[in-house]
Structure 1
Amino acid sequence: MKTGATEATEAAAGERVEVRGIAHGGEGVGRAVGDGADTRTWLVEGALPGEQVLAVRSEERRRMIRGRTLQVLTASADRVAPPCPVEGVCGGCGLQHARAGAQAELKRQIAEGALRRLGIAVPDALASPRALGYRRRARLHVERVGDALRLGLHRRQSHEVLALTHCPVFDAPLNHALARLSALAAGGGGFSQVLRQLRRGEVHLLSDGAAVVVGIPGLAPREGDADEAGLRAALGEVLDNVVVGVVARGGRRELVIGRGRLALADAGPEDMAIATGPFEFAQAQAAQNRALVERVVALADARGGQVLELFAGGGNFTRALAREAAEVVAVEEDRGSAAALLRLAKKTAASRQARIEVRRFDATRALTRYAAEGRSFDRVVLDPPRAGLGLHGARALARVASGRTVFVACDPATLARDLEPMLEAGHRAASALAIDMMPMTPEVEVIVALDAPRERS
């Protein structure tokens, strides 16, 4: 905890910074003002565009200074009191000081800032219908400190765990699970003893809006382990009318207590719901995911055609594309997700929708192979993880994509890197849209539609 003397010393060392923009991580971008002010660019945590703040340096580089806000001297009209009591302590959210209604515009600016050097404008952003209580998945951290267990999220800029029993952005079932797990962890029962074995571990939560399944990695017993019955009993303590399943995973083995998957139907009809487990990817918010899928499918415009889908996951876009296209080639490396795609393929075949061909490959490997074979696709949809596709894969994609490509990304910086080889190869950006999938954080989803050169289309 800071003392009054420490705060006074920091204030004396503070510098006035005028903030004119917002950076990829949510920091305010600006320059120091006043006589003899440093001319380097500042990235100031906790500052908003249009503000003047007193900031203290935390890191210096040749062309840039990182700092944090000590005092807001001139506040933006969009500044509000954070809704979370542990804001600034918890590392989970970084944009709570901005008015909920203004966050989509800030994220549009983040996306456009990353794509500006490529000449791509992002004219619009889709605001979230809810700013709080929207999140349906979470990864909690477990830390053993002496005889005590901490279950919660990491503290800001730290690996230390901040114990929590409630989070404002979690949906009601997730908060129920968080409170229940925290109470069990603090007790002396079997579940508490199981968590103590982890020393420092993770707990994954997934909600469908009514129920929750829990995933705990590093716990599944080996085949024939005499302690399996005890582990089952300990994990069973978690179950109630909301927490309906626990999956313990160790290597390739899983131990499932109750239900191991939930049916996520937000992007399609109930009979095409995706059975999703706690270790598998799902977008953080159901409502915005539905909007994301609708826009991607509309941009792909794959009616009666063939679609190559990269990083297909468990079928978030696949099932919607299958209602439009004649064939979907779904490429996914993860074993569990590929199995979900195969189940989806059987359903679409039974209902006489598009044929889904599932290829369990790394996306870059698949693209490189298709390019070497001279194979092309008139429609391509891809939604890579934060690390992006990569330059090698992007160059191969530029050769394989012969019509419309719809690129979805959760990191504008890696998106810009991956788009550059495609633009150099003659592909043209037709549209771009930012989507506020995770309010109260600087995270943003971006959709960019590209069209291949006319001689290839």
Structure 2
Amino acid sequence: MPVRIEKLVQGGNGFARLENGTNLFIQGALAGELVEYAVDQTKNGYINGHVNQVLEASEDRVVPPCPYYGICGGCDLQHLSSEKQAETKRTLVLENLGRIGAIDPTSLLVEEVSQGPFWAYRSRVRFHVELSSRSVGFLAKKTNTLIPLEHCPILVDSLNKVLAEKHQLVEAARKEMFSNNSGKTPYIEVNAFAGDTQLSFGEEPVLVTVDGHRYWVSAKVFFQGNRFLLSAMGQFVSQHCLGESVMDLYSGVGTFSSFLQEEGRHIVAVERDSRCLALAKKNVPSAEFFTDSVEAWGKGKKRFVDTVVVDPPRTGLDATVPDLISRWEPKRIIYVSCNSVTLARDLQKFLAQGYTPRVLKVFDLYPQTFHQEVAVVLDRKELRQ
């Protein structure tokens, strides 16, 4: 049965609602299209499916250039024109903030989306290796089946080179086979990170330079996979930071702390991954570092701070963290998020603590996928103009 797609939603799926009120989430559909679909899964109140045929195509639909698109589990928006993706993601973010967080988008200064290269941008990746056949690639969508490939259009050239040659990845897999294989798949996972001139396949750090900031990073720690837009993110956080006392929570290898350094400013950085902080101490030697979870470290602490920067994982903040932060009475909170659903939830909690969102900016860090990065500036109510 044909259905008209209303919009794109979280996950990059098309959304429609049947006359009986059932919600449809259709993989491969775009807003405004008339499509025929096949049902993949039926649950109470909604249906997951995929496009069988596009009857009326959106003017923004394009032919995906990657031959593995729809098979490989990596990308999910190659059928939407690259130029349209940023606008679509900003719309999705604002809708999530309104629907989940009850935040009026018109109350925010919404800055223009930051964009970079649409292709050949990703410098951080996890390969899957089958040693018996020396096959290297990614997992198929929603399965544990290996898709061997020799080129990925979103990877930077240096990673595509080792993917085509294979031998470095096979050797790295042999080293990892006793320590990294969790047993969830029959393959060895090999993390790879491309620095300025060298590659890391494990704990060995390599140098990467972003807007003049030098970072030591290894494949085993988190660092944003798009260095082309990391500069814009760092500058945004730096420009909106207030005061001489700054707290950088979920600080990783010191990505934002490095941008926040200035004479007379004291930076406290908290990160639970000891490997990250070992590198962060090299990257930002002037900061004060603590290895702990934010919720455990902050419990019971009373301190004054001008600005708090938070960059939590996709799951968002622990339920106790907004209250902890509010007790420190920061003038400003800068929340960097990779999931606008959990961001909206957490902003609601900060609203209850007396903070209001003032500025929002979306960064299209991962073109060809629905993923987006968002930064929101919140001020204590008495600071809002």
TM-score by length of 1: 0.77
Is the contact between residue 334 and residue 378 of structure 2 (CA under 8 Å) also seen in structure 1?
yes
1:202-213 counterparts in 2 under 5 A? 202-213=189-200
Residue 4 (structure 2) aligned to one of 1, 18, 30? 18
Residues 71 and 325 of structure 1, relative CA distance in 2, 3 Å threshold:
farther
Q: Secondary structure at the match of 1:96?
A: coil
Equivalent residue number for residue 336 of structure 1? 275
Q: Secondary structure at the match of 2:255?
A: coil
> Which piece of structure 1 moves more, 58-67 or 314-323?
58-67
3-state secondary structure, aligned to 1:86: coil
Alignment partner of 1:377: what SS? coil
Counterpart mapping for 1:38-57 below 5 A: 38-57=20-39
- Tell me which of 184, 187, 194 is aligned to 1:200: 187
Partner of 1:448: 376
Report the counterpart of residue 239 of structure 1 in structure 2: none
Counterpart residue identity of residue 334, structure 2: V
Query: Aligned AA for 2:207?
Result: A
Q: How does 1:281-292 map to 2 (within 5 A)?
A: 281-292=222-233
Q: Which residue of 2 aligns with 1:357?
A: 288
Residue identity in the other structure for 1:90: C
Correspondence for 1:309:
248
Q: What is the correspondence of 1:12-411 to structure 2 with a 5 Å cutoff?
A: 15-32=1-18, 37-117=19-99, 118-121=102-105, 123-143=110-130, 147-181=132-166, 185=170, 199-215=186-202, 247=203, 260-267=204-211, 269=212, 272-302=213-243, 305-323=244-262, 326-346=265-285, 348=286, 356-370=287-301, 373=302, 375-411=303-339
Deviation at 1:415, TM superposition (A): 1.2
Aligned residue type for 1:91: G
Contact 1:376 1:402 in 2 (8 A): yes
The 1:308/1:83 distance shift into structure 2, 3 A limit, reads same
Equivalent position of 1:10 in the other structure: none
CA distance in 2, matches of 1:415, 1:376: 24
CA contact (8 A) 1:26 1:94 kept: yes
Amino acid at match of 1:134: Y
Instruction: Report how far residue 192 of structure 1 moved.
Output: 7.6
Q: Looking at CA atoms only, which structure, 1 or 2, has the larger radius of gyration?
A: 1
Q: Is the 8 A contact 1:40 1:64 kept in 2?
A: yes
Higher relative contact order, structure no. (Cα contacts within 8 Å, ≥ 6 residues apart): 2
Select 1:434's aligned residue among 348, 352, 362: 362
Does the aligned pair in 2 maintain the 1:172–1:209 contact within 8 Å?
no
CA root-mean-square deviation? 2.3
SS state at 2:65 partner: coil
Distance of 2:263 and 2:17 partners within structure 1: 50
Give the Cα separation in 2 of the matches to 1:163 and 1:440. 20
Residue identity (%): 29
In structure 2, distance between residues paired with 1:281 and 1:105: 27
Counterpart amino acid of residue 77 in structure 2: L
* Distance in 2 (alpha carbons) for counterparts of 1:165 and 1:182: 12
**Residues 18-64 of structure 1: CA distance to partner in whole angstroms, max 9, x if unpaired?**
111111101011134xxxx5431211111111111111111222222
Name stretches of at least 5 consecutive residues in structure 2 with no aligned partner. Answer: none
User: Does the aligned pair in 1 maintain the 2:116–2:365 contact within 8 Å?
Assistant: no
Runs of at least 4 residues off by over 6 Å = none
How many residues of Structure 1 are paired with residues of Structure 2 in the alignment?
374
What CA deviation, in whole Å up to 9, does each residue of 1:265-284 have, x standing for no partner? 114x2xx5111111111111
CA distance in 2, matches of 1:324, 1:116: 39
Secondary structure in 1 aligned to 2:158?
helix
CA distance in 2, matches of 1:209, 1:70: 44
The 8 Å contact of residues 330 and 358 in structure 1, kept in 2 or not, is answered as: yes
